[in-house]
C-alpha cells in the first residue's frame, strides 16, 4: 500500500486538481447539480429537511452526515439565532453545528425596513451637519455683505453681484421669480420721501386703494361667516328647507374661500409695497443709479437694519439649528420612523418627510412629492434610473438613505456586506490577532485583544460607507483587516491583484478568482454584495442561501467527498486533510482537545500515548502548548510541514509501509467513544 506520507503529499501538492477530479465523478457531479437546481425552491426549514438529497448533501458538506437521522435535533440547530449566545446551537461545543446553521439564512439576510440603524444614524448626522452648514452659510453671507457693501458705487453693481443681490432680496422679502431686476433697480434709485419718485408713483400710490379693498374683503369674510352660522342654525329649526339651506351654505363657503384669498393676496401686495419702500429708503443711490460724491451705498444704521432684516428672514434656519429644536426634531423623526411601512407612509408623515429632505438640503415646500416618490423608487444600481437624471447629488443621498423598491414597498438595506458577514469578519480578525500573540505575555495578549476589538468595531462602522469595489480598495486599512481575518498576509497581496480578484465573475469557474490556488480570495469576494460593475447591489438569494453560503456548501461537499474517499483507503490521509482544513479555525489548545480527530493528529505527530486522553484537560492543554504554537496554524506552509510529520509518524505507528494496517481511526469521524474520555469532554464544554 502507498504510504500515508506519499498519498498526503501528492494530494496537497495538487489539491486543486484532486478536488476537480472528485467533482467530476458522476455521483458527486450528480448531487452537486441536483443541489444547485433545487435549493432555490426551498422556502422553509421543513421544505429543506423534507428533500432527502438536499438535506443529506448539506449535512455531508459540514461533516454532519452521521447526524442526518436526528432531524428534530438538526431542525433546532437550523432554527437557532446565531446572534443569541443562549440559542441552542451556540450552546453546543461542536463548532460544526454552528457552521451548518451559518450556511443558511432561512429568516432572510435582513428584515425589510425603511432605514437600518446605520442609515438612521447617518441621516441624523447629516441633518445636524446640514443645519450647521446652513447657519455657517448665513454667517458667511453676512460677512461677505458687510465687507463688500462699502465698495459698491452703483445700483447695477449691487444687483450684478449674486451674493449681494440674494442677501438684499432675502432681507426685504423680494421674490426674484416675480420681480424683474429692472424693477428692483428702479426702486433702489428711488427716494421714498419724494412723491414723484418711481417707488412712490408706482407702488406707494396704490396703498390707499389696496387698504380700502383689504378692509372690504375682511368685512366680506366676517359677513359671510355670519351668514354660514345663520344658515347652519336654521337647519335645526322645525319646517326648515334643509336642501335649500345646504345649497346656501355651500354657496357662502365658496364666497368665503374667495374673500379669504383676497385678504391674503391684498395683504401680500401691501407688504411687498412696504418692503419696496423700505428697500428704497435703505440705500443712497441717485435716480441714475450712481452715488453722490463721498456717499456710501448705505449708512451704518441702514447696514445694521439690513442685517437684522436678513436674520429675521432666515429665522426658520436658525430655529431648525438650535439645540432644543434639533433634539425635538430628531426625537420625532426616530419615533415616527417606526411607523413607516411603505413609501406612501413616508410621504404622508411630516416628521419623517421634512426631516429627511432637510437632512440632504432639500426644501419640502419647493420639491414636489411626485419627484420624491420617483427618486425613492429608483434603482440605484441602474445608472439610467430616474434619480440620476436629476443630476443632483442631494436626491441620490436621499435615495441611498431609504429602502423602498420600485413599487414603494419596504425592502432590505443596500449594503456592501450583510450584517452576518460583517460580524464574521470582525470576529475572525480578533481571533487571528489573538492567535498571533499566543506566545506573548498575558498583559500583551490583553492589549492585542483590546486593539483588535477596537479595529473590528471601527470596521463594522466603516463598512456601511462602502458603495463600490473602488471605495473598498481605496481603503487599504480596511482591506488589510479583511485579509488578516482570513489568515492572509496583506504585505503579500498587491492592489493590482485585488482589483483582478474583485473583477472576477464568480459564476465562471475559469475566472481569475476561481482558478487561483488559494480559495480564500474568492471567499472574500463572495462575502460582498457587488454586482458585475462593482457597485453595491441586492444580489438574489438561492432559496435560503446567499451567494457565499451556497459556494461554501458546494466546496465543502467536494472537500468532504475527497476526505471520505481517501479515508476509505487510508484513514491517516483523511486525518491529515481534515487537520489541514480545520487548522485556520483553531484558536487554542482546547479546540484541538475538543475534537477527537484533531487531538489524535496531535498525539500521533508528537508520538504521545493515547492514554494522554485520560489526563485532566488542563494538563493536556499544557502539552499542546509545549509542542505546538497555535499561531503557526494560520500559516499554510507550517501546517503542511506539520502534516508531513504527522503522516510519517502515522505510518510508523500503524506499520502501513509493511502492509500491517490496524487502525480504528475512522471512528474519530463518527460517534465512537474512543479517544478523549467523557470527563475530559465535560471539562472542555465547561471551559468553553
The domains located in the chain, with CATH, are 1-108+545-569 (1.10.3700.10), 112-148+316-413 (no CATH), 153-225+255-296 (no CATH), 419-540 (no CATH), 585-688 (no CATH)
**Helices 547-569 and 4-13, axial angle in degrees (round to 10):** 150
Contact 356, 401 (CB under 8 A): yes
Mean pLDDT of the chain: 91
> How does 373-388 read in b/e, with b if 16+ C-beta sit within 10 Å?
bbbbbbbbeeeebbbb
Mean pLDDT of 419-425: 89
CA–CA distance, 211 with 267 (Å, rounded to integer): 9
Residue closest to 594 by CA, chosen among 524, 684, 462, 464? 684
Q: What is the pLDDT of residue 376?
A: 97
Q: What is the largest CA-CA distance in the chain?
A: 125
Mean pLDDT of 57-72: 95
**Does the pLDDT value for residue 664 go beyond 60?**
no
493 Cβ contact list (under 8 Å, min separation 6) = 483
73-101 pLDDT, tens per residue?
999 999 999 888 899 999 998 889 999 99
Q: What is the pLDDT of residue 351?
A: 96
CB neighbour class for 418 (10 Å; exposed up to 12, middle 13-18, buried from 19): buried
CA–CA distance, 567 with 4 (Å, rounded to integer): 11
Residue 303's pLDDT band (boundaries 50, 70, 90)? very high
**Helices 207-234 and 242-282, axial angle in degrees (round to 10):** 160
Of 66-70, 169-173, 318-322, 439-443, the range with the lowest mean pLDDT is 439-443
Give me the long-range contacts of 664-671 (CB less than 8 A, separation at least 24).
665/571, 665/572, 665/574, 665/575, 665/597, 665/600, 666/567, 666/571, 666/574, 668/575, 668/596, 668/597, 668/600, 669/63, 669/66, 669/567, 669/574, 669/578, 669/597, 670/66, 671/66
**Global pTM?**
0.65
Q: Higher confidence at residue 585 or residue 342?
A: 342
Q: What is the pLDDT of residue 420?
A: 84
Q: What is the pLDDT of residue 15?
A: 87
Phi, psi of 393 (to 5 degrees): -65, -20
CA–CA distance, 313 with 307 (Å, rounded to integer): 10
The 3-class secondary structure across 376-399, one letter per residue, is HCCCCCCCCCHHHHCCCHHHHHHH
Phi, psi of 494 (to 5 degrees): -85, 160
Mean pLDDT of 323-346: 96
Helix (H, G, I), strand (E, B) or coil at 633: helix
Of 10-24, 478-492, 645-659, the range with the lowest mean pLDDT is 645-659
Contact 610, 603 (CB under 8 A): yes
528-540 pLDDT, tens per residue?
999 988 988 888 8
Joined together, the cell numbers standing for residue 519 give: 480559495
Contact 380, 399 (CB under 8 A): yes
CA–CA distance, 198 with 185 (Å, rounded to integer): 10
Give me the long-range contacts of 226-229 (CB less than 8 A, separation at least 24).
227/252, 228/252, 228/253, 228/256
Q: What is the pLDDT of residue 538?
A: 84
**Does the pLDDT value for residue 688 go beyond 90?**
no
CB neighbour class for 331 (10 Å; exposed up to 12, middle 13-18, buried from 19): exposed
Amino acid at each position: 500500500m502507498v504510504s500515508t506520507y506519499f498519498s498526503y503529499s501528492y494530494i496537497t501538492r495538487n489539491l486543486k486538481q484532486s478536488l476537480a477530479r472528485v467533482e467530476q465523478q458522476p455521483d458527486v457531479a450528480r448531487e452537486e447539480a441536483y443541489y444547485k437546481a433545487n435549493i432555490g425552491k426551498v422556502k422553509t426549514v421543513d421544505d429543506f429537511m423534507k428533500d432527502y438529497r438536499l438535506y443529506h448533501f448539506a449535512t455531508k458538506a459540514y461533516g454532519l452526515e452521521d447526524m442526518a437521522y436526528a432531524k428534530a435535533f438538526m431542525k433546532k440547530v437550523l432554527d437557532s439565532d446565531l446572534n443569541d449566545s443562549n440559542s441552542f446551537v451556540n450552546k453546543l461545543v461542536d463548532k460544526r453545528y454552528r457552521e451548518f446553521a451559518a450556511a443558511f439564512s432561512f429568516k432572510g439576510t435582513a428584515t425589510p425596513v425603511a432605514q437600518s440603524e446605520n442609515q438612521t444614524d447617518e441621516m441624523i448626522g447629516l441633518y445636524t451637519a446640514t443645519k450647521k452648514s446652513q447657519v455657517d452659510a448665513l454667517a458667511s453671507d453676512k460677512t461677505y455683505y458687510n465687507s463688500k457693501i462699502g465698495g459698491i458705487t452703483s445700483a447695477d453693481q449691487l444687483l450684478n453681484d449674486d451674493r449681494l443681490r440674494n442677501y438684499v432680496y432675502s432681507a426685504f422679502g423680494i421674490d426674484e421669480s416675480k420681480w424683474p431686476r429692472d424693477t428692483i433697480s428702479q426702486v433702489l434709485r428711488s427716494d421714498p420721501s419724494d412723491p414723484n419718485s418711481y417707488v412712490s408713483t408706482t407702488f406707494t400710490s396704490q396703498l390707499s386703494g389696496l387698504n380700502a379693498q383689504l378692509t372690504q374683503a375682511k368685512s366680506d369674510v366676517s359677513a359671510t361667516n355670519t351668514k354660514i352660522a345663520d344658515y347652519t342654525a336654521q337647519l335645526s329649526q322645525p319646517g326648515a328647507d334643509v336642501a335649500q339651506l345646504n345649497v346656501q351654505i355651500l354657496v357662502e363657503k365658496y364666497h368665503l374661500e374667495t374673500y379669504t384669498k383676497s385678504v391674503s393676496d391684498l395683504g401680500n401686495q401691501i407688504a411687498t409695497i412696504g418692503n419696496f419702500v423700505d428697500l428704497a429708503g435703505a440705500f443712497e443711490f441717485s435716480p441714475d443709479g450712481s452715488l453722490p460724491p463721498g456717499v456710501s451705498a448705505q449708512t451704518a444704521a441702514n447696514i445694521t437694519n439690513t442685517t437684522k432684516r436678513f436674520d429675521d428672514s432666515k429665522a426658520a434656519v436658525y430655529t431648525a439649528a438650535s439645540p432644543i429644536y434639533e433634539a425635538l426634531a430628531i426625537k420625532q423623526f426616530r419615533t415616527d420612523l417606526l411607523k413607516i411601512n411603505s413609501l406612501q407612509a413616508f410621504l404622508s408623515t411630516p416628521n419623517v418627510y421634512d426631516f429627511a429632505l432637510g437632512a440632504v438640503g432639500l426644501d419640502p415646500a419647493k420639491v414636489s412629492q411626485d419627484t420624491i416618490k420617483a427618486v425613492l423608487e429608483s434603482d440605484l444600481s441602474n445608472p439610467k434610473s430616474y434619480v440620476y437624471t436629476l443630476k443632483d447629488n442631494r436626491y441620490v443621498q436621499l435615495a441611498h438613505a431609504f429602502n423602498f423598491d420600485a413599487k414603494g414597498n419596504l425592502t432590505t438595506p443596500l449594503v456592501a456586506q450583510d450584517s452576518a458577514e460583517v460580524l464574521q469578519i470582525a470576529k475572525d480578525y480578533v481571533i487571528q490577532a489573538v492567535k498571533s500573540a499566543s506566545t506573548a505575555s498575558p498583559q500583551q495578549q490583553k492589549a492585542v485583544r483590546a486593539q483588535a476589538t477596537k479595529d473590528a468595531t471601527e470596521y463594522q462602522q466603516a463598512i456601511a460607507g462602502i458603495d463600490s469595489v473602488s471605495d473598498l480598495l481605496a481603503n487599504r486599512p480596511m482591506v488589510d483587516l479583511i485579509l488578516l481575518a482570513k489568515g492572509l498576509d496583506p504585505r503579500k497581496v498587491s492592489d493590482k491583484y485585488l482589483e483582478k480578484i474583485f473583477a472576477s465573475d464568480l459564476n465562471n469557474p475559469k475566472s481569475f478568482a476561481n482558478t487561483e490556488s488559494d480559495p480564500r480570495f474568492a471567499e472574500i469576494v463572495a462575502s460582498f454584495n457587488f454586482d458585475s460593475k462593482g457597485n453595491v447591489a441586492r444580489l438574489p438569494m438561492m432559496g435560503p442561501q446567499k451567494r457565499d453560503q451556497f459556494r461554501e456548501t458546494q466546496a465543502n461537499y467536494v472537500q468532504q467527498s475527497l476526505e471520505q474517499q481517501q479515508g476509505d483507503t487510508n484513514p491517516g490521509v483523511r486525518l491529515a486533510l481534515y487537520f489541514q482544513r480545520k487548522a485556520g479555525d483553531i484558536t487554542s489548545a482546547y479546540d484541538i482537545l475538543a475534537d477527537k480527530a484533531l487531538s489524535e493528529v496531535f498525539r500521533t505527530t508528537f508520538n504521545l500515548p493515547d492514554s494522554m486522553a485520560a489526563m485532566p484537560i488542563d494538563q493536556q492543554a499544557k502539552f499542546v502548548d509545549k509542542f505546538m504554537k497555535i499561531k503557526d496554524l494560520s500559516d499554510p506552509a507550517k501546517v503542511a510541514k506539520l502534516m508531513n510529520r504527522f503522516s510519517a509518524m502515522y505510518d510508523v505507528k500503524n506499520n502501513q509501509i509493511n502492509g500491517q494496517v490496524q487502525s480504528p481511526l475512522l471512528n474519530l469521524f463518527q460517534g465512537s467513544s474512543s479517544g478523549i474520555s467523557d470527563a475530559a469532554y465535560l471539562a472542555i464544554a465547561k471551559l468553553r
